[in-house]
Structure 1
C-alpha cells in the first residue's frame, strides 16, 4: 500500500485490557472494525493514546498484529515507535516491519529532550532500521522537542520520511511547513480541536483521538472539508468541539476511553498507573457525552472517492 496515499482520518486507537490487565484482543477487534466500518483511512496503534509507555514490546507487536488482521489490507496500519533510547526504538521498528506494519509513526526519544542534531539522528536511525515509510510526529507541547520546518527540510532528503503529524498546538505551523518544504510531506493534524482549521489551510489528514468513540462524525468532517462543503463541516465540528477538547488533556487516555465506553459500549479500563476517572472528573465527561448523544447531528452524504 503506497505511503503516498496516506491521507484522511487515521485513528490513534486505544489499547483494550481485560479485567486482569491482559490485552483484550476480542474487544480491540470489535473496536477496530467499528472504525473501518465508518470509513477511516488508516489505523495507528500503540501511540500515546494507546498507552505505549505501559506496553511490553511483545504486546505492541500483538496489538499491531490484531490491527493488521482486522484491516485485512484495506487501509494502512502504522505502528507507533516511542522509546527512551534509539536502540530500543530500532528494535521495535525492526519487529514491527517483520510483523507486517505498513509504516511507522515515530516520536523523539522521550523523555529526554534532544537537540536538533540528536533528534534528526534518532529519526534517521529508527527509519533505517524499520525500512518502511515514516510519519514524523511533532508534539513539542507534550514532549519538549520541536521538529521545526527547517529540520523537516533536512529530513526531506530521506525518502522514508513521507508524512508529518503536526501537534504543536499552533495551526500556523501547517502553513509554515508548506512554505518551508512545499508538498514534500503529507501533513496531518494531530490536535483534535484544531483539526478543521488545519484541514482548511492544507493538511491532508487527521490523526484523531475522539474518532475512537465517534468515527462517523470524524470521517464526515474530513470528507466535507475535502469537498469544500465548509458550512456543513463547521456545523458538525461545533457540535463535536466539547468532546474534541477532551483530547487536549494530561488525562486524554482516561477521557477518551470513558467516552468510548459511553458511546460504543466498550470499557474504560486503563493500565496503571492510569486509573479510570472518578468523582467530579468522571461526572464532567459523562455530562459532555450525554449532551452530545442527545444532540447528535444527522450526517449528510459526504463520502468521496478515494484519492
Structure 2
C-alpha cells in the first residue's frame, strides 16, 4: 500500500460553543477556509482537535459531518487516540464505516508502553483495518518513542504507510531514511522544525498553526517545494515566533486564540483545558498580533 499524503495537512481544531458543546457549523466553516487556501489534507481529532476531550459519539459526529462536507476535496484522516488497543481497533472500524480516507494512530493513552508493547499495539491496529495509517511519533507529549529500528520492524505491515515525526529531533528524518529508505512517507510534525525537515527529505507537514495562517503555510510549502530556499527562509523567520506556539503544553489554547484573532473561529476549549487569561493571554496575543501585522504578502501565483 502506498501513500499520496504529501503537502500541508491541517491538524484541525474542533470548534465549541460557549457552553463547550460541539459547534459543527463553525468547525466546517473553518475547514473550508483552509481548503480554500490550498492545504492538501485534513486530520480531524488529533491533539489540536482535542480528541480525548470528546466522547465517542461526539467523535463520530465530527467525522461524519466533516466527511460529508468535504466530499472528497481533500483526504480526511482521523486521529486514533484511545486508552486500549481494542478501543483503537473499534474506533478505526467506526471511522472506516463513516468514510474517512485514513488514520493517524497514536500510542495508547495514559499507560506508557514499552517498545515490545508499542510494536504490538501498532501491529494489531494495522492488522484490524485496510485503511492507510500515519503513525504519530511524539515522545515529548505522549512519552512513547518509536525509533527508526522499531519502524524497520513494523515495515512488513502494509497499512502503515506514513510517519508524522514529532520527536523534536530533526536528525530522525535522516535516521529514518537511512534505516527504512522510502518505505514510509515522512511528514514533519513540529511546526518550528518544518523547514529543516523538508530540506532533509520530509514530503509533508502536519501543522497546527495552519489553522490560523493557512495561506502562509501554503506559501512556505510552495517555496520549499520549488527549492526557493532564500525566500522560504525569509517567510520562516517571520513565522517562527508563531510556530513556536505549537511546542508548548497549551498549544491548543494558543492555536485557538490565533484562530480567533484571525477571524476563523473561537478560542473556546473543553475542560480540563481553560481559555487563557491574565499575563499569559496578553503575552500570546502580542505574538499573534505582531505576526498578523507583519505577515508576508502572498503572491498571486504562490
How high is the TM-score relative to the length of structure 2? 0.97
The answer on whether the counterparts of 1:260 and 1:267 sit within 8 Å (CA) in structure 2 is yes
Residues 1:228 and 2:224 are matched in the alignment? no
Alignment of 1:45-60 (within 5 A): 45-60=44-59
Provide Cα deviations, 1:31-83, integer angstroms capped at 9, x if missing partner: 00001001111000111111111111111111112221232112111010011
* Alignment check: 8 A CA contact 1:220 1:302 kept: no
> Given that residues 150 and 180 in structure 1 are in contact (C-alpha distance below 8 angstroms), is that contact kept between their aligned partners in structure 2?
yes
Q: Does 1:144 align with 2:143?
A: yes
- Structure-1 separation of matches of 2:203 and 2:42: 15
Once residues 2 and 39 of structure 2 are traced to their aligned partners in structure 1, the CA distance between those partners, rounded to angstroms, is: 16
Contact 2:127 2:157 in 1 (8 A): no
Alpha-carbon distance change, 212 to 265 in structure 1, aligned in 2, over 3 angstroms: closer
1:198 partnered with 2:200: no
What is the total number of aligned residue pairs between the two structures? 302
Q: Which residue of 2 aligns with 1:14?
A: 13
Q: Which residue number corresponds to residue 88 of structure 2? A: 89
Instruction: Give distance in 1, aligned partners of 2:266 and 2:2.
Output: 33
Q: Could you tell me whether the CA contact under 8 Å between 2:103 and 2:134 is conserved in 1?
A: yes
Unaligned 5+ runs, structure 2? none
Structure 1 gaps of 5+ residues are none
Deviations 1:170-219 (A, max 9, x none): 10100000000001100001000001110011100000000000000001
Question: CA RMSD of the aligned region, Å?
Answer: 1.2
Q: Which moved more, 1:92-101 or 1:65-74?
A: 65-74
Paired residues of 1:32 and 1:70 also in contact (CA < 8 A): no
Measured against aligned partners, the alpha-carbon deviations of 1:263-300 in whole angstroms (never above 9, x if no partner) come to: 12421100001110000111011111111111111123
CA distance in 2, matches of 1:51, 1:302: 35
Aligned to 1:125: 124
Alignment partners' CA distance in 1, 2:129 and 2:79:
12
Relative distance call for 1:3 and 1:37 in structure 2 (3 A) is farther
Indicate if the aligned counterparts of 2:3 and 2:132 stay in contact, CA closer than 8 A.
Answer: no
Pair 1:153-2:152 in alignment? yes
1:120-145 Cα distance to aligned partner (Å, 9 max, x none): 11111112223200000101111111
- 1:302 Cα deviation after fit: 5.4
CA contact (8 A) 2:126 2:157 kept: no
Paired residue secondary structure (1:35): helix
* Matched-pair contact (CA < 8 Å) for 1:189–1:205: yes
- Where 2:77 maps in the other structure, the secondary structure is strand
Offset of residue 249 of structure 1: 0.3
Q: How far apart in 2 are the matches of 1:250 and 1:153?
A: 30
**Residues 1:265 and 1:39: Cα distance change in structure 2 (over 3 Å):** closer
Is 1:242 the counterpart of 2:264? The answer is no
**Distance (Å, rounded) in 1 between the aligned partners of 2:177 and 2:300:** 31
Q: Give the secondary-structure state (helix, strand or coil) at the position aligned to 1:5.
A: coil
Shift >6 Å, 4+ stretches: none
* Equivalent-residue separation in structure 1 for 2:139 and 2:80 (angstroms): 16
The more displaced of 81-90 and 121-130 is 121-130
Normalising by structure 1, report the TM-score: 0.96
